[in-house]
Structure 1
Amino acid sequence: MRQLAQRAEDVPAVFAERFNLGDAAAVAEVYESGAVFVPESGSPLSGEQINAANGRFLALGLPITVRPRHVHTAGDLALLIVDWVIDGTDRDGRPVRVAGTATDVARRGPDGYWRYAIDSPFGVREKV
């Protein structure tokens, strides 16, 4: 398993690798203490709620594909815009497609590794 990201632009790939292993504890390590996960606007989650929310995605049993679109770094902070998709057939044979464009903030910790401070997987929504 890949170590935590040493560069801001690698955070999504580290997340995806750990997610695709199905390892909830390894996924949790990609978040800093006090991080916020925003599954929908106005509903931020923290602490164990983040693990539970990611657990629902992990329970699909399907891999995630990530494609960073933009990474903007200022010192120890980074804004990441990342296209992602979970696509396939679930364990019951039903087609599943969950996708979005995340608006995330990562921070370099005192140990030199980058972790999510804010993870908003559906941060960019298309206007209808």
Structure 2
Amino acid sequence: MNLPKRAEDAHSTLAAAFNTGDVATVLNMYDTSGIIVPEPGKPVSGKAQFEAAIKSILAIKGTMEIKTVYCMQTGNLAIGRSEWNITDGDEVKISAKGIELMRQGDDGTWKILIDHAFGAEGDLIA
């Protein structure tokens, strides 16, 4: 799977990679010099921590859906606001509202630099 060439395609690319179990693409969607928040209040950074966080999310069996609420871009930076969930049939395994900062690389592809998967939750304290 190819990385997105448009910032607004990052969410759909990430969901498609998750849903096909494409660990390599999911990992490549991230700039591991950044931050990922796989659980509220637990930000991590660094390649090993990113990999552990991604693998724990991929361990949740089901189908990921990511709705892009907005994506605003200036130059090689973009910020996205998402509403996402992982469902298994009628069971919602996880549901949240996230904020993602993305950066375009020299090759024209977009990677997520900061992924606060719960960053737009109304009751978030941190």
When the two structures are superposed, what TM-score results if normalisation uses the length of structure 1?
Answer: 0.87
Deviation track 1:40-60 (CA, whole Å, cap 9, x = no partner) reads 455321222112112112112
Match of 2:19 in 1: 20
**TM-fit CA distance, 1:61:** 2.0
Q: Equivalents in 2 of 1:123, 1:99: separation in Å?
A: 12
Q: Which residue type is aligned with residue 97 of structure 1?
A: K
State whether residues 3 and 25 of structure 2, in contact with CA within 8 Å, keep that contact through their aligned partners in structure 1. Answer: no
* Residues 1:8 and 2:21 aligned together: no
RMSD of aligned C-alpha atoms?
A: 1.7
Aligned residues: 122
Query: In the alignment, which residue of structure 1 is the partner of 2:94?
Result: 98
Contact kept, 8 Å, 1:24 with 1:51, in 2: the verdict is no
Q: Where in structure 2 are the equivalents of 1:1-128 lying within 5 Å?
A: 1=1, 3-40=2-39, 42-46=41-45, 47-88=47-88, 95-127=91-123
Percent of aligned positions that are identical: 33
Which consecutive residues of structure 2, in runs of 5 or more, have no partner in the other structure? none
> Which letter maps to 2:56?
R
Task: Tell me the CA shift for residue 96 of structure 1.
Answer: 4.6
Q: Unpaired segments of 5 or more residues in structure 1? A: 90-94
CA gap 1:43/1:60 in 2 versus in 1, 3 angstroms: closer
| Code of the aligned partner of 1:116 | I
SS of corresponding position for 1:122: coil
